[in-house]
């Protein structure tokens, strides 16, 4: 009986082990997963009650919120140094669906309006600031450069490799990749998503995942490192820039622009004034030297000869 019992126990463990090991999130390394039933694995964001759908990308808003959780409340990881927009990292307010709320505020009651990518599109104001709608980011432009190789890649090969990357790794339908242009070593990608069906990923989430991958701070598990190859040759990305274009123009007032123009004008006027002053001083010094020389010659002419 004992050998038979050992065989049965071994079979049970063999079946249970893969189920336990499979209880991980393939698209979010910060998700905390637990087996809550036979074959049922539930994943939630660390420090949050929001469930995570590990078959697709996690929304950028939920990711940013998870990144703001103190390190001691999560598993060992290195917090990112910042995000691509100029305002840096902040703790966002998210809807239950994962989208950003139109108005974001910090702990000092400073508020601003954002687009669906979470990027500020208005000047910062007080807690009374009102944001009537969440404006959709329709286009995203991605510019990147790769390390120079002995020979440039073929344009169709680069476009094919990047299209496959965005489709397989980030679940983005190719119809949202409007254009890929390649002028070695510069690669330009335009994502176009006017309306997003519920079942499709958002281009803002795709851009955020891609940015984290390039910056070696991937949201995917550690064994899913980004590798891009063109016909078997590695495409080593060096620099990355992401630009957001909304359905409606941003609402920045002219005060900020006027202040910038005023500063430039002031610098130009000061430079010109200093230049004119230096020219006047040099001219005065030359005139003074010439007058001294002329006065000396006149004295020598008028002086009586000793002979």
What DSSP string describes 26-90?
TT-TTEEEEEEETTEEEEEETTS--B--TTSPPPHHHHHHHHTS-GGGSSS-PPPS--SSTT---
Percent share of the chain, pLDDT over 90: 39
Q: Is the full-model pTM beyond 0.75?
A: no
Peptide bond into 185 cis (omega under 30): yes
d(CA 70, CA 79): 9
More confident position, 281 or 157? 157
The mean-pLDDT minimum among 70-79, 140-149, 282-291 falls in 70-79
C-alpha 126/C-alpha 92 separation (Å) is: 16
Residue-wise pLDDT for 186-228, tens only, equals 999 999 998 888 899 999 999 999 999 999 889 998 777 888 8
Per the model's pLDDT, the better-predicted residue between 54 and 71 turns out to be 54
The pLDDT tens digits of the residues spanning 246-294 come to: 999 888 774 444 444 555 556 666 777 787 888 788 877 777 666 555 5
Residue-level pLDDT at 187: 93
What is the rounded CA–CA span in Å between residue 166 and residue 156? 16
CB count within 10 Å of CB 274 equals: 10
Label residue 232 exposed, middle or buried (CB < 10 Å: 0-12, 13-18, 19+): exposed
Per-residue tokens: 149:
């190789």
Q: What's the average model confidence in pLDDT over 84-102?
A: 81
Q: Which residue has the tokens 């409007």?
A: 178
Residue 13 phi/psi, 5-degree rounding, is: -65, -35
pLDDT score recorded for residue 262: 58
């Amino acid at each position: 009986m004992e050998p038979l019992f050992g065989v049965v126990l071994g079979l049970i463990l063999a079946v249970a082990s893969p189920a336990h090991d499979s209880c991980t999130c393939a698209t979010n390394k910060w998700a905390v997963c637990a087996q809550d039933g036979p074959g049922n694995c539930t994943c939630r964001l660390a420090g949050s009650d929001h469930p995570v759908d590990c078959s697709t990308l996690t929304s950028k808003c939920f990711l940013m919120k998870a990144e703001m959780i103190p390190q001691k409340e999560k598993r060992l990881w290195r917090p990112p140094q910042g995000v691509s927009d100029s305002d840096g990292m902040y703790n966002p307010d998210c809807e239950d669906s994962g989208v950003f709320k139109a108005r974001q505020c910090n702990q000092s009651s400073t508020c601003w309006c954002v687009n669906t990518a979470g990027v500020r599109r208005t000047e910062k104001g007080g807690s009374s600031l009102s944001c009537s709608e969440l404006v959709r980011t329709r286009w995203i432009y991605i510019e990147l450069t790769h390390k120079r190789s002995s020979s440039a890649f073929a344009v169709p090969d680069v476009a094919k490799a990047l299209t496959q990357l965005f489709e397989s790794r980030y679940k983005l339908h190719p119809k949202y990749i409007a254009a890929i242009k390649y002028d070695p070593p510069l690669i330009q990608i335009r994502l176009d998503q006017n309306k997003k069906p519920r079942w499709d990923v958002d281009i803002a989430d795709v851009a955020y995942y891609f940015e984290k991958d390039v910056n070696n701070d991937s949201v995917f598990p550690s064994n899913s490192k980004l590798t891009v190859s063109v016909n078997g040759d590695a495409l080593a990305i060096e620099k990355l820039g992401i630009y957001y274009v909304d359905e409606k123009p941003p609402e920045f007032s002219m005060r900020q622009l006027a202040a910038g123009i005023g500063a430039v004008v002031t610098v130009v006027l000061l430079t010109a004034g200093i230049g004119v002053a230096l020219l006047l001083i040099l001219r005065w010094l030359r005139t003074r030297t010439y007058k001294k020389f002329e006065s000396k010659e006149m004295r020598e002419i008028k002086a009586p000869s000793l002979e």
